[in-house]
């Protein structure tokens, strides 16, 4: 049976490379078009508060060239919501953001930020934008997500990806993700997953029934330097499709 899990290609790091020099190369819109043609089911970008990679202009230009949905990752704050409401992506994924971090280090603490999130989530849903919360695979976070009325979570696979290669860690972290999917399923919450996924470690995640979407960025852009973005995405799609559920 073909595994039809969706692949969101995160193209942030095309902009990281561009910003290392300024100017337009490599062009972010070109990356978005190649990703779409190579079979990406959606394009994901994270507009960070410090704009270290993609910015609003990128968001606007990517939206003007793609036909597939755009998933916008943002910190949960009113300034970022204003950007989302201006450009109306298919979905926003709320992520925790810390200016000093190199990448998104952990999931959102939904209970701790419940009141703030409640208002922001309502604002997005009122604007017909789908909402996802990026959380650790943790029961309490899923319960808080259910209480908030959010119907989709993206499970942070960073700890699993880091542990890959160390048998004990993989099993522990993989089981946490499987249990989280099960609990989410019981609450009718859809699951996506992402962070740190690559050709080697993606299959075990793609094989978990009821994960609907994977978001993959850094590895695909890195592999693309040697193999070309189209080939890297083709290969990732093939591995995902062949991952048995």
Residues with active-site annotation: 46, 73, 195
**Distance in Å, CB of 222 to ligand PXP, minimum:** 9
Instruction: Kindly state the smallest distance separating residue 184's Cβ from ligand PXP, in Å.
Output: 16
- Name the nearest CA neighbour of 88 among 118, 140, 126: 126
CB of 188 to ligand PXP, least distance (A): 21
> Up-side HSE of residue 56: CA atoms within 13 Å toward CB?
11
Does 134 sit near ligand PXP (CB under 6 A)?
yes
Cα–Cα distance measured from residue 145 to residue 52, given in angstroms and rounded to the nearest whole number: 29
10 binds ligand PXP (CB under 6 A): yes
Q: How many residues does the chain have?
A: 245
Concatenated DSSP letters of 145-188: HHHHT--EEEEE-HHHHHHTT-HHHHHHHHHHHHHHHHHHHHTT
Which residues within the stretch 206-245 sit at the binding site for ligand PXP (CB under 6 A)? 215-219
Q: 184 preceded by cis ω (within 30°)?
A: no
Instruction: Note whether 176 binds ligand PXP by CB under 6 A.
Output: no
Determine, following the binding rule CB under 6 A, whether residue 160 of this chain makes contact with ligand PXP. no
Indicate the helix (H) or strand (E) that contains 10. Answer: strand 6-10
- Our finding on whether 104 is near ligand PXP (CB under 6 A) is yes
What does R_g of the chain's alpha carbons equal in angstroms? 17
**Residue 93 makes contact with ligand PXP by CB under 6 A:** yes
CB 220 to ligand PXP: min, Å: 7
Q: Which stretch binds ligand PXP (CB under 6 A): 26-34, 82-90, 188-196, 205-213?
A: 188-196
Binding footprint of ligand PXP on the chain (CB under 6 A): 10, 12, 46, 73, 93, 95, 103-104, 134, 154, 194-197, 215-219
């Amino acid at each position: 049976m073909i595994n039809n899990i969706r692949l969101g290609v995160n193209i942030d790091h095309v902009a990281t490379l561009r910003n290392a020099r300024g100017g337009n190369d490599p062009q972010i819109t070109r990356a978005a078009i190649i990703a779409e043609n190579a079979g990406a089911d959606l394009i994901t970008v994270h507009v960070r508060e410090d704009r270290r990679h993609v910015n609003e202009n990128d968001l606007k230009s990517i939206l003007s060239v793609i036909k597939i949905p755009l998933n916008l990752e943002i910190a949960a704050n009113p300034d970022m919501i204003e950007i989302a409401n201006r450009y109306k992506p298919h979905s926003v994924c709320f992520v925790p953001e810390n200016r000093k971090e190199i990448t998104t280090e952990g999931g959102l603490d939904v209970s701790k930020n419940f009141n703030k999130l409640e208002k922001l989530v309502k604002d997005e849903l009122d604007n017909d934008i789908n909402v996802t919360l990026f959380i650790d695979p943790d029961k309490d976070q899923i319960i808080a997500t259910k209480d908030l009325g959010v119907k989709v979570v993206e499970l942070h696979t960073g700890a699993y990806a880091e542990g890959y290669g160390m048998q004990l860690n993989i099993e522990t972290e993989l089981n946490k993700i499987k249990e989280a999917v099960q609990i989410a399923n019981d609450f009718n919450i859809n699951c996506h997953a992402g962070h740190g996924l690559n050709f080697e470690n993606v299959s075990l995640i793609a094989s978990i029934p009821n994960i609907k979407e994977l978001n993959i960025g850094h590895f695909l852009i890195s592999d693309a330097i040697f193999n070309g973005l189209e080939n890297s995405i083709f290969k990732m799609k093939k591995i995902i499709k062949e991952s048995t559920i």
